[in-house]
Structures are given as structure tokens and as C-alpha cells.
Amino acid sequence: MQRILFQLVVLLVLTLSMSPAHAVRPDEMLADPKLELRAREVGAELRCLVCRNQSIEDSEADLAHDLRVLVRERIATGDTNDQAIAFVHARYGDFVLLRPPFQFDTLLLWGGPLIVLLIGGFAAWRFYRGRAELPGPTPLSAEERRRLDAMLEQGSET
């Protein structure tokens, strides 16, 4: 019991001590902490085009580095967060956005999980409905009951 408790405490400490890994290099950072915070917020909204499942803030790829520098330049020149995102979006399209806009060509992306959930629910409903319609066991006839009793008596004698 003590060993399990110790393992849980170690796991809890390790989990709480982890922080998200940011790939921002010191030479990229802006001198003004407020602008740097805004740049990180913008970077968290943009997808690394190489890694695909990471933001540019979390990616070590060279292209992500270039995009981080670009975002910081835009923020430093006075762009708002939305203007900086729009600038990168205009260059790289919807794919660069971690949260793409809801429009016709992204409809499957947004509605896909709901469609899968509905198909799964329908399949489960059909499966359980089909099982409920299966006939249950029929009772034994008098002749079958007599033969079963005779077999059981014969098996218990040996």
C-alpha cells in the first residue's frame, strides 16, 4: 500500500512540475514583456506547417521559427493580434490556423465528429434493437424434460 501511495505522489509531483514546452529561442523574444505575451498568444493560434499538430510556439521546425519571427515583427510594428494572424493567414491559407473558420469548405472538419457520433449511435441502436428481437429460449417439452432428468440421474450415479 505504501509503495502505491509513493508512486502516486511521485506521479503527481512529476505531472504538476511539467510545463508546456515552448520552442521560442531567446534571440526571438521581444524586449517588452507585454508585446512578447501578445506574440505568444498569436503564435499559439497558428499551426506549424511542418509539424502540423503543434503551434508555432511549440515547434522546433525552421519554418515555425521564421513564422515566430514574422509574428513578432508584426506585433512590434503595432499590429493587433487579429492583424498579425490575418497577415499570416493571407500568406498561408486556412491550414495555418489551429482553429479554422466555419465555412463551406471546412464544414466536414467541423461536422465530422458529430457525423461519426451519429453513425456510431445509430449502429449501437441497431445492434441492441436486433438483439432484443431475438427469440428467447423455448421451454422444454415434457418428453425433453423426461430425457434430461434421465441423463442427469444416469450421470450422478457414476
Alpha-helix residue ranges (DSSP H) falling in the chain: 2-17, 33-45, 62-76, 81-92, 107-132, 142-157
What's the longest Cα–Cα distance across the chain?
Answer: 98
- 7-30 pLDDT tens trace: 777 776 666 555 444 566 666 666
Contacts with 29 (C-beta within 8 Å, 6 or more apart), sequence order = 36, 72
Which CATH code of 1.20.1060.10, 3.30.1390.20, 1.10.8.640, 1.10.760.10 fits the domain covering 2-101? 1.10.8.640
- 37-91 pLDDT tens trace: 888 898 888 988 888 788 888 888 888 888 988 999 998 898 899 999 999 999 9
Q: Which residue has the higher pLDDT, 63 or 110?
A: 63
Answer yes or no: are the C-beta atoms of 46 and 94 closer than 8 Å: no
- A 10 A CB-CB count for 155 gives 8
Residue 135 is predicted with a pLDDT of 74
Domain ranges across the chain: 2-101, 105-135
